[in-house]
């Protein structure tokens, strides 16, 4: 199955009451855990690669991992997505590297500048068959090079700007700010999310697929395990899974998950080192982490309602004429 853009996925998710899981890839074990989970659940996938992951692993290695994942996954629908592209140059490079979906995050800029930058990326991507995600409004927290605002509830997406932004940029999906934050330390108390903002945005811009960032639940089973075995992660709190399910049924078509992957891997590594201090075989501590990621991702696919949707996405892709980005047409 060739890599595809997000369009066939979002076409179904928008009216289907589910969201596609977008999982960040940083190494082989994380990728293997994600792929094994999706295979068992027959779920379409968005594999996300951040600027930091490109710098850490190098694109030549990441491309080999992705090719292996596609071969191993059989006929699963998979998109490769740049997460939080922070410059036009990076977005163009990722298109030229074979990404099928690009995010340009110009949300820190004023409205008109955000439009200008986003449209420049769209104008490069669309002729090459690549979809574009943009962002309007700002999240809190910190994740790699992305530093959020101190109070995300004061920087929510303005529903009255969305239709104009969409029309003038031509973006294919929009990451919206509804009070979530990046990282493990999302909230200091019970989270207050502006879920009604999703409905308002959909009323103003019907048909626009929405994206939810900062969506990890910061699963406490992993936090407790990390702290039990020598970690120090107090007062961590994430987005309730009930809220993730709710927005997935409302028109949010893509939900980003990264922190929960890191927590699952870290928890099992710490446990192995604590219980077997003489262990030095990486397979013996990365293996349990990979298994924990697989089980966690399987759970998340059900939270998102996307388990079992792979065949429907393939059918939609075929109805669209089996489109692939230009990068893959002669491969």
- The residues annotated with a catalytic role in the active site are 83
Residue 295 CB: number of other CB atoms within 10 A? 14
Instruction: Specify burial of residue 105 (Cβ count, 10 A radius: 0-12, 13-18, 19+).
Output: buried
Instruction: Specify burial of residue 39 (Cβ count, 10 A radius: 0-12, 13-18, 19+).
Output: middle
The residues, any chain, with a CB within 8 Å of residue 196's CB and separated by 6 or more, are none
**Rounded to an integer, what distance in angstroms lies between the CA atom of residue 210 and that of residue 166?**
11
The set of long-range contacts for 198-207, using a CB threshold of 8 Å and a minimum separation of 24, is 198/247, 198/250, 198/251, 198/252, 199/250, 200/159, 201/157, 201/159, 201/162, 201/176, 202/250, 202/251, 203/159, 204/159, 204/160, 204/162, 204/163, 205/162, 205/163, 205/166, 205/174, 207/14
**Rounded to an integer, what distance in angstroms lies between the CA atom of residue 8 and that of residue 185?**
34
Length in residues, the chain:
331
- Nearest-CA neighbor of 46 among 11, 10, 93, 16? 10
**Rounded to an integer, what distance in angstroms lies between the CA atom of residue 105 and that of residue 86?**
6
Give the distance, in angstroms, between the CA of residue 238 and the centroid of all CA atoms in the same chain: 16
Q: Are 46 and 305 in contact (CB under 8 A)?
A: no
């Amino acid at each position: 199955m060739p890599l595809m853009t997000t369009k066939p996925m979002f076409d179904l998710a928008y009216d289907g009451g589910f969201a596609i899981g977008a999982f960040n890839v940083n190494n082989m074990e994380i990728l293997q855990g994600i792929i094994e989970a999706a295979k068992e659940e027959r779920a379409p996938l968005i594999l996300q690669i951040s600027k930091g992951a490109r710098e850490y692993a190098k694109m030549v290695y990441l491309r080999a991992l992705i090719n292996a994942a596609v071969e191993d996954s059989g006929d699963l629908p998979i998109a490769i997505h740049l997460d939080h592209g922070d410059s036009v140059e990076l977005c163009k490079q990722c298109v030229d590297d074979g990404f099928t979906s690009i995010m340009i995050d110009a949300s820190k800029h004023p409205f008109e500048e955000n439009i200008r930058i986003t449209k420049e990326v769209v104008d490069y991507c669309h002729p090459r068959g690549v979809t574009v995600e943009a962002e309007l409004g700002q999240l809190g927290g910190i994740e790699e090079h992305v530093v959020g605002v101190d109070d995300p509830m004061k920087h929510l997406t303005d529903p009255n700007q969305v239709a104009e932004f969409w029309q003038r940029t031509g973006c294919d999906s929009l990451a919206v700010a509804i009070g979530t934050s990046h990282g493990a330390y999302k909230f200091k108390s019970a989270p207050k999310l502006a879920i009604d903002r999703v409905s308002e945005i959909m009323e103003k811009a019907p048909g626009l697929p929405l994206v939810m960032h900062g969506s990890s639940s910061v699963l406490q089973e992993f936090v407790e395990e990390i702290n039990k075995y020598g970690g120090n992660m107090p007062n961590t709190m994430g987005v309730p899974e009930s809220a993730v399910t709710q927005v997935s049924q409302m028109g949010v078509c893509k939900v980003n998950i990264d922190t929960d992957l890191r927590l699952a891997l870290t928890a099992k590594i710490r446990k192995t080192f604590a219980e077997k201090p003489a262990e030095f075989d990486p397979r013996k501590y990365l293996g349990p982490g990979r298994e924990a990621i697989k089980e966690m991702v399987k759970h998340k696919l059900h939270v998102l309602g996307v388990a079992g949707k792979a065949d429907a996405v393939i059918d939609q892709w075929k109805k669209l004429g089996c489109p692939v980005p230009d990068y893959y047409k002669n491969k």
